[in-house]
Amino acid sequence: MSTASDARFWDRISRRYANDAIADQGGYERTLERTRALLRPDDHVLELGCGTGSTALRLAGDVRRYLATDLSAGMIAIAREKLSASPVPALAFEVATADDSIRETGCFNAVLGFNYLHLIRDVPGTLRRVHGLLAPGGLFITKTACLGDMNPLLSLALPGMRLIGKAPYVSVFRQAELRERVSAAGFEVLAVENHASRGNDRRPFILARKGSPR
């Protein structure tokens, strides 16, 4: 299994994913508003694992440049259809991952990744790469599922579900471990928040900074 098989999984479900309702609309809106408040009009923003581009389409109008990327060509095709229907000049969608295809090292003011980090095979390596992509003082903003803090039956069921093509690759870690990994990649963790509109959904919003304030 590899990122190529991950791409096939996400390509296959992309149309269905595009039509799925957001599970916690209130929590999503809170994340969006919190993120928007952190971005500045001159910012160059990179989003990783952007899916069908819903978040990018909501945020890109407020910044100078917004490059939204995803591993899956199927997801990016849908995102581009949405962009053609509602153009945002600052926004571009590209098939890309943090590992290779983004060559603009050290120039983004913010890197965003929502519902993304737990799907990455090499989380420490990806976090180091994100750190390298950011300009000094740049922000890393993420919200991701910490399966290590969820019902253990879910983690037990995952290998079987993956075998029959019903689940993607998933990294299992706890919130404390994720926070530690973000720090180990060189970031200062500024905030860890719960944005769920009901209870605690085990998907912490993490705000981290590279180096001194921007």
Ligand X SMILES: C[S@@+](CC[C@H](N)C(=O)[O-])C[C@H]1O[C@@H](n2cnc3c(N)ncnc32)[C@H](O)[C@@H]1O
Considering only residues 117 to 156 of the shown chain, the ones binding ligand X according to CB under 6 A are 119-120
Q: What is the DSSP letter of 138?
A: E
Residue 118 or 179: the one with the smaller Cβ distance to ligand X is 118
Site for ligand X (CB under 6 A): which residue of 50, 79, 102, 178? 50
The string of DSSP letters for 43-107 reads -EEEEES-TTSHHHHHHGGGSSEEEEEES-HHHHHHHHHHHHHS--TTEEEEE--TTTT---TT-
Which of the stretches 48-56, 133-141, 158-166, 187-195 binds ligand X when contact is defined by CB under 6 A? 48-56
Among candidate residues 53, 180, 171, 69, the one with its CA nearest the CA of residue 122: 171
Considering only residues 67 to 126 of the shown chain, the ones binding ligand X according to CB under 6 A are 70-72, 75, 97, 114-116, 119-120
Residue 114 or 173: the one with the smaller Cβ distance to ligand X is 114
Interface with ligand X by CB under 6 A: which residues? 3, 6, 10, 48-51, 70-72, 75, 97, 114-116, 119-120
